[in-house]
Amino acid sequence: MGEIVENKNLKRDIIRKAKQLGAEIIGFAPTSRWKEYKDTKPEYFPQNIFPFTKSVIVLGIPIFIPMLETTPSIVYSELYNTTNRLLDEIAYKLAVVLNAKGHQSVFFPRDAYGDISILVKKPEAAFSHVIAAKYAGLGTIGYNHTLLTKEFGPRVRLVSILTDVDIAPDKMIEKDLCIKCEICKKCCPTSAFTTTEYLIADMDKQKCAEYHKQLKDDYRYPCGVCIKVCPIGADRKLSGANTKKYLNEKEMLSQNSEDEEYSGWQHCRSFGSK
């Protein structure tokens, strides 16, 4: 009973500290869920990467829609880089706190690849923060393979902390948040998605990675179109759905690159990158 109370207090302290450091959403998953749901191969299980792991803490911070809408641009690129730095820093500091309390803990970096050219050859990561976040009750996986959250839709960046302490898990979200509207498929610049009988599309990860390499060479990486156009998320209350604008963007700009409706986005795309 004492251990349960202690860990309940620890969970409360972790949430408070994570929010102080800048995390917007926090979830907790037991390692047993990787074995239970088998969404990935055993070598990707957190307990197989770091055997001491009993719980995974997943942290998320939002991507601002107005900056994302300028993609591909240096504006979105800098936002992406900023969230990456913040995530690693938050996770590192939280792991330090846990270790100081006697709980062996590490963080798994948010991207964990050296260069986009590596993903062209092998388009996968050693650990999936998306799956971890699903198991931690932060959201569900959508058509475009991203995590959809109630708060931010897919416009959220994630990082995970692996720890040796048993922490009360959060309840997983049972109902899929994705409505399979396929606007991400319609707007994808590489046509990387193919609809199947399942909710989640088949994805040509090679094609996606090759396009990202091109954007990286042009200093306006990453793409982000599939998360930009998604209508899911409470963050849409501030910016609006903009669905028609997204669907018409390619055609309208092909007719007139200075179209007034897209002038702000085009302005951002005209500076700081090739």
Domains of the chain and any CATH numbers: 1-115+125-178+224-274 (3.40.109)
How many other CB atoms are there within 10 angstroms of residue 128's CB atom? Answer: 22
55/41 Cα distance (integer angstroms):
18
Specify the DSSP class assigned to residue 173: P
Peptide bond preceding 62: is omega within 30 degrees of 0, i.e. cis? Answer: no
Instruction: Fill in the amino acid letter for 48.
Output: N
pLDDT at 41: 96
Whether the CB-CB separation of 184 and 153 falls below 8 Å is answered with no
42/21 Cα distance (integer angstroms):
32
pLDDT at 234: 98
pTM of the predicted structure, to 2 decimals = 0.95
Q: Are strands 140-141 and 25-30 parallel, antiparallel or unpaired?
A: unpaired
pLDDT at 2: 46
Q: pLDDT 10s digit of each residue in the chain, 274 long?
A: 445 446 789 999 999 999 999 999 999 999 999 999 999 999 999 999 999 999 999 999 999 999 999 999 999 999 999 999 999 999 999 999 999 999 999 999 988 777 788 877 888 889 999 999 999 999 999 999 999 999 999 999 999 999 999 999 999 999 999 999 999 999 999 999 999 999 999 999 999 999 999 999 999 999 999 999 999 999 999 999 999 999 999 999 999 999 999 999 999 999 999 8
- Using CA of residue 40, residue 47, residue 8, residue 103, what is the dihedral sign? negative
Among the listed residues 127, 118, 64, the one whose alpha carbon sits nearest the alpha carbon of residue 91: 127
> CA triplet 139, 142, 144: central angle to 5 degrees?
135
Which structure tokens are listed for 66? 């107005």
